[in-house]
Chains A and B, each alone.
Chain A
Amino acid sequence: YLYNNRYAGDQVFRIHPNTEEEVGRVKSILGHLKVDLWQPNSLSLIARNATVDVHVKSNDTLRLHTRLKQEHISYHVFITNLQKEIEKQTGYRSSRRRR
């Protein structure tokens, strides 16, 4: 596996905070997880009606699903298995070619 399979089961969520209140709750939820923000690049830049793309480690995905559902915040998962997407992006072709 590429990167020693470290992204197996990781997911990328797309979250849609529609009100200032939801913005506050999303910041609070993500502030308590160890996440990798793809867009925007920091919690302070999260704004109303602007999408939030966030990479979540496999062992935190269930917790994030639960919290967002509890708070009735609109979201969807746009990459369900990050490791698979990484393999697809460059795949074995490049390592085979490099060999």
Chain B
Amino acid sequence: SASQYDYEVYHSLEEIQSWMFEMNRTNPDLVDMFSVGKSYEGRPLYVLQLGKRSRPQKKAVWIDCGVHAREWIGPAFCQWFVKEALSSYKHDSVMRRLLNQLNFYIMPVFNVDGYHFSWTTDRFWRKTRSKNRKFHCRGVDANRNWKVKWCEEGASSHPCDDTYCGPYPESEPEVKAVAKFLRKHKKRVKAYISIHAYAQMLLYPYSYKYATIPNFNCVESAAQTAVSALYSAYGVKYRYGPASTTLYVTSGSSIDWAYRNGIPYTFAFELRDTGYFGFLLPESLISPTCTETMRAVKTIATGLLKKC
């Protein structure tokens, strides 16, 4: 049951999905659950909507985790966020204000087929599990498949590469489903956050070019505040800045697409660590990693309620 669910271990896709149903069942005032579509292998793409049903056109924040299958700390954070938001609604005035004034769309596992495959077959699988007509290799990098400068620098057109952009933009059902949802709700969604690992960075557009976004000052300030909040938990340092210069140039990424789609604040978190455990972050580090990231995400959301 919800109270016995262990947020400090990694969970399989089946466990996460039954946990989502349980969150939906036990929190009728604050939670709604829906599917935005089906994955390549036909699995539902579940999303939890968190927020008080106070008024229809509330501003919203979208958070997705598990775009890359092997980055298990991502889904762990999305579950942690839901747990913290619901459990602190009554006694934390900041969280209460956020859930009263905003809706949060939480997608704990974006790449459901790949995540399932990383639990059952290949722990280091990254891509989706779509088949390619001409090559034996499977999968597309779900963070190179968005319709923004698609398949240019920093992506590969070879189906066997880990950064394969796909046969065409939004070829992946998972990408198409989320893009369709965000296009439909773009007037209300004011922040898009995608959780990845590992590198300890907070990245914002552009990924595909060395240029400055029009609302740079507001986004930079939000990132700086978020990274300071993160540091305040355990003194862990995160670098932050435009993805193209802070990490490397990549095309077809979700934060660039969301930004170009009109969402003014779009971020990619690269969670712990910087390369001691890599993708194998031990379960003992789930709690501190999620606690510090929670602080950062709360400051980003709080910033949406102010004018910049």
Give, as a whole number of angstroms, the nearest-CB distance from B273 to chain A: 11
State which of B122, B141, B154, B275 has its C-beta within 8 Å of the C-beta of A51: B275
B9, A86: Cβ atoms under 8 Å? no
Q: How large is the interface on B (under 10, 10 to 19, 20 to 34, 35 or more residues)?
A: 20 to 34
Chain A positions within 8 Å of B163 at CB level: 41-42, 45
State whether the Cβ of B210 lies closer than 8 Å to any Cβ in chain A: no
A79, B280: Cβ atoms under 8 Å? yes
State which of B9, B199, B279, B280 has its C-beta within 8 Å of the C-beta of A93: B9
Which residue of chain B is the closest to A83 with respect to CB atoms?
B123
Chain B positions within 8 Å of A82 at CB level: 280
> Please, what's the 1-or-0 string for A72-97, where 1 marks a CB less than 8 Å from any CB in chain B?
00000011001001101110011001
How many residues in A have their beta carbons less than 8 Å from beta carbons of B? 31
Chain B stretch 258-283: residues in CB contact (< 8 A) with chain A: 275-283
Which residue of chain B is the closest to A4 with respect to CB atoms?
B121
State which of B162, B247, B275 has its C-beta within 8 Å of the C-beta of A37: B162
Chain A positions within 8 Å of B121 at CB level: 3
> Please, what's the 1-or-0 string for A46-83, where 1 marks a CB less than 8 Å from any CB in chain B?
01001101010000000000000000000000110010
Chain B positions within 8 Å of A93 at CB level: 9
How many interface contacts (CB-CB < 8 Å) are there between A and B? 68
A45, B278: Cβ atoms under 8 Å? no
Overall SS of chain A's interface: mixed
Q: Give the CA-CA distance A39 to B141 in the complex, in Å.
A: 14
Which residue of chain B is the closest to A90 with respect to CB atoms?
B10
Chain B stretch 204-243: residues in CB contact (< 8 A) with chain A: none
Q: Which A residues are within 8 Å of any B CB, using their own CB? A: 2-3, 7, 12, 14, 36-42, 44-45, 47, 50-51, 53, 55, 78-79, 82, 85-86, 88-90, 93-94, 97-98
The 4 tightest CB contacts between A and B, nearest first, are A42-B163, A89-B280, A85-B280, A45-B248
